[in-house]
Structure 1
Amino acid sequence: MTTEVRSNTGADASNEAGAALAERTDAVILVGGQGTRLRPLTVNTPKPMLPTAGRPFLEHLLGRIRAAGMTHVVLGTSYKAEVFEEHFGDGSDLGLEIEYVVETEPLGTGGGIRNVADKLRYDTAMVFNGDVLGGTDLRAVLGTHAEKDADVTMHLVRVPDPRAFGCVPTDADGRVLEFLEKTQDPPTDQINAGIYVFRREVIESIPAGRPISVEREIFPALLDGGRAVYGHVDYAYWRDMGTPGDFVRGSSDLVRGIAPSPLLEGHHGESLVDDSASVGGGALLYGGSVVGRGAEIGAGARIDQSVIFDGARIGAGAVIERSIVAAGADIGPRTVVSDAIIGEGAVVGARCELINGLRVWPGVTIPDHGVRFSTDV
């Protein structure tokens, strides 16, 4: 693999081209998934709306889109579609103009992109996977698209171990050569990072009204047809937020400033605590933990790399690590919650031990000492 190295002058020119193109680019965000890997958190809330570093996850991406200079956003929704419009409305509060397209039947990634075609205003569309927390320079991606006069430009991120992902090798000029499935011997460390820039005519050429995969069908067909598909390759922050562990780490990275968000500039640290929350004496909050509105943290509790949603209560001396406690849940004194999810309104009694991926569904009550892994009580 050969990496193209630009001079500073070339990079500046590319960034200027990206900034100019951003003003004439639609932002499309696919947010239709059911978030099954994050249940029970997504039973009542779509994954992109889960509180992440004090804001709905999607709001961080919208902030990056606005900062890059794009103002027209189309949300491709499906699961609990009404939640998005109820929260964001027309987008004016964020300095955006947001429109919504509801997918009534599952259409896959390619079908989901084609489904929003009628809402596009410009000849260029930047498509985002709503599950991904990223940090790439969006203007730079657009700059590559303009510089290469590409039909499609993909954001490719380099990762230390690409075996768990599909790989996308490119030539010395950045042109995509092929799309490879997961393999134990990948030929490149470049993986698909879930951001694509399309010419509008390419989107309109996707078959309408049926499920279709952009990765397995559309992109290979474009290569076979000789279309100009390029990669913008970098080492930017990238995390798929689909699992509980990744959700917790992503939120933590936002709080600590490892992952960028325009919404948190100047507010980084070991914890992010809403002004309306209460924290008892001797409680420790670190690891990029978040405490939501009206939440209560008891005296001597320890919260490590965890997300405490609005109105949750953590008892005195409890330990919460690498976990998520949903809205209104109540954790009893001296209880340990480690690598677990506690659903909305659940009640966990004193001196329980909930560890190793355990998930408590909304409204469930566990009595004092009701779940233990140790022999002592």
Structure 2
Amino acid sequence: MKALVLSGGSGTRLRPITHTSAKQLVPVANKPVLFYGLEAIADAGIKDVGIIVGDTAEEIREAVGDGSTLGINVTYIPQDKPLGLAHAVLIAQEFLGDDDFVMYLGDNFIVGGINGLVDEFRTERPDAQILLTRVPNPTSFGVAELDESGRVAGLEEKPAQPKSDLALVGVYLFTPAIHEAVRSIEPSWRGELEITHAIQWLIDQHKDVRSTTISGYWKDTGNVADMLEVNRSVLETLTPSVEGTVDASSEIIGRVRIDAGAEVRGSRIVGPAIIGPGSVISDSYIGPFTSISEDCRIDDSEVEYSIVLRESSITGVRRVETSLIGRNVQVTPAPRNPAAHRLVLGDHSKVQISS
């Protein structure tokens, strides 16, 4: 069994971060979100992984390499334009061959991995298996309709009038039957080959399409709010450790990880929080659910429920929260404008001005 991981796309919902960085490499608890998916694939016993790459291919290659550090063998598959998930399957056919495979969206996050799902698929081998979860806003997702027996009756991509609240999670399992399906469909109104249309084609051909509804934690980390929420979820499982240096005037409370080479001076850190290697926290407060990446500087500031990427500095800022701060950013107080009153007063005036 192989894996196909999608790491193309422009990441428009995470701009301006993704103007200069791949959305799949934005870190959650100081580890790229893509790595969580690759680790889940390796943990499920899948070693041969094809990664679909687009404009950010060079950055993805630099981060992942040949995959050996993650326990996988990586083949990179260029996609000139993001023309849909089914298009990714189409261009990956040479890599996939006649093997079953799991398709994993590189910016998705699933707590608990995919071991059980992969084991079930290997045993039962339906033509396709999809993951579903209930969402409050199904118009933003691919939506599944189930029949009375719980089997998949139909799929729609971002429907205006959804027939259920069951959204497709970004993990799919296929046999080679999907290859005929992706060759048989036409582009949607968006100009893309939709994977929902390919799976619907399988249903129309009376193929065995099954679903698993998950109640565990799943997020599409495509926007800042979801990225911060996933960061919070991961930090809640953090194992505390102090490998860096903390001076006697600092206070560390709760689950806090301070990586080797990091320094904490005259500061208070309340976990769960993580301080990356080489970062210096001085005369500051770092609050819960905060990830400070490597080589950052936080001085005389307060940061909470935020992600700060590498080589950034926050100096003299009273409060930063619910924020995603990119790489090599400098955050400082705005200069104070001199207070002044300009008056034109007539004779015998009386003026009261609060100081």
TM range (shorter): 0.7 to 0.9
Which one of the candidate residues 29, 38, 44 is aligned to 2:5?
29
Listed one character per residue, the Cα deviations across residues 136-164 of structure 1 (whole Å, up to 9, x for unaligned) are 55232234434554111101124466565
Which one of the candidate residues 202, 206, 220 is aligned to 1:222?
202
d(CA) in 1 for partners of 2:71, 2:280:
33
Aligned to 1:337: 320
- Aligned Cα root-mean-square deviation (Å): 2.8
Which one of the candidate residues 39, 64, 74 is aligned to 1:98?
74
The alpha-carbon distance between structure 1 residues 117 and 106, as it changes in their structure 2 partners (threshold 3 A), is same
d(CA) in 1 for partners of 2:275, 2:99:
42
User: Is the Cα–Cα contact under 8 Å of residues 144 and 153 in structure 1 kept in the other structure?
Assistant: no
d(CA) in 2 for partners of 1:214, 1:234:
22
> What pairs with 1:33-112 in structure 2 (closer than 5 Å)?
33-112=9-88
User: Rg bigger for which structure?
Assistant: 2
Structure 1 residues without counterparts, runs of 5 or longer: 1-24, 258-263, 351-366, 371-377
* Matched residue SS, 1:207: helix
> What pairs with 1:1-377 in structure 2 (closer than 5 Å)?
25-146=1-122, 148-159=124-135, 162=138, 165-171=141-147, 173-180=149-156, 188-207=164-183, 212-257=192-237, 270-286=255-271, 288-316=272-300, 318-350=301-333, 367-369=334-336
User: Is the Cα–Cα contact under 8 Å of residues 78 and 102 in structure 1 kept in the other structure?
Assistant: yes
Runs of 4+ in 1 over 6 A off after TM superposition: none
Structure 2 residues without counterparts, runs of 5 or longer: 242-253, 338-355
d(CA) in 1 for partners of 2:142, 2:304:
32
Counterpart AA for 1:270: R
d(CA) in 2 for partners of 1:185, 1:201:
30
The alpha-carbon distance between structure 1 residues 62 and 369, as it changes in their structure 2 partners (threshold 3 A), is farther
The alpha-carbon distance between structure 1 residues 105 and 137, as it changes in their structure 2 partners (threshold 3 A), is closer
User: Is the Cα–Cα contact under 8 Å of residues 4 and 101 in structure 2 kept in the other structure?
Assistant: yes
Aligned to 1:12: none
Q: Which has the higher strand share?
A: 2
The alpha-carbon distance between structure 1 residues 245 and 349, as it changes in their structure 2 partners (threshold 3 A), is same
Identity %, equivalent residues: 27
Aligned to 2:245: none
d(CA) in 2 for partners of 1:346, 1:94:
30
* Matched residue SS, 1:223: helix
The alpha-carbon distance between structure 1 residues 131 and 244, as it changes in their structure 2 partners (threshold 3 A), is same
* Matched residue SS, 2:197: helix
* Matched residue SS, 1:70: coil
d(CA) in 1 for partners of 2:5, 2:195:
16
The alpha-carbon distance between structure 1 residues 233 and 92, as it changes in their structure 2 partners (threshold 3 A), is same
The alpha-carbon distance between structure 1 residues 163 and 289, as it changes in their structure 2 partners (threshold 3 A), is farther
d(CA) in 1 for partners of 2:125, 2:330:
57
User: Is the Cα–Cα contact under 8 Å of residues 54 and 272 in structure 1 kept in the other structure?
Assistant: no
Listed one character per residue, the Cα deviations across residues 220-273 of structure 1 (whole Å, up to 9, x for unaligned) are 22222222211022212101111112112212211212xxxxxx7x56973333
Listed one character per residue, the Cα deviations across residues 290-318 of structure 1 (whole Å, up to 9, x for unaligned) are 322212222232333233222221112x1
Aligned to 1:7: none
* Matched residue SS, 1:123: coil
| 1:348 positional shift | 2.0
d(CA) in 2 for partners of 1:157, 1:250:
16
**170-179 or 123-132, which moves further after superposition?**
170-179
**48-57 or 180-189, which moves further after superposition?**
180-189
d(CA) in 1 for partners of 2:182, 2:120:
23
Report the TM-score when normalising by structure 1: 0.76
The alpha-carbon distance between structure 1 residues 111 and 60, as it changes in their structure 2 partners (threshold 3 A), is same
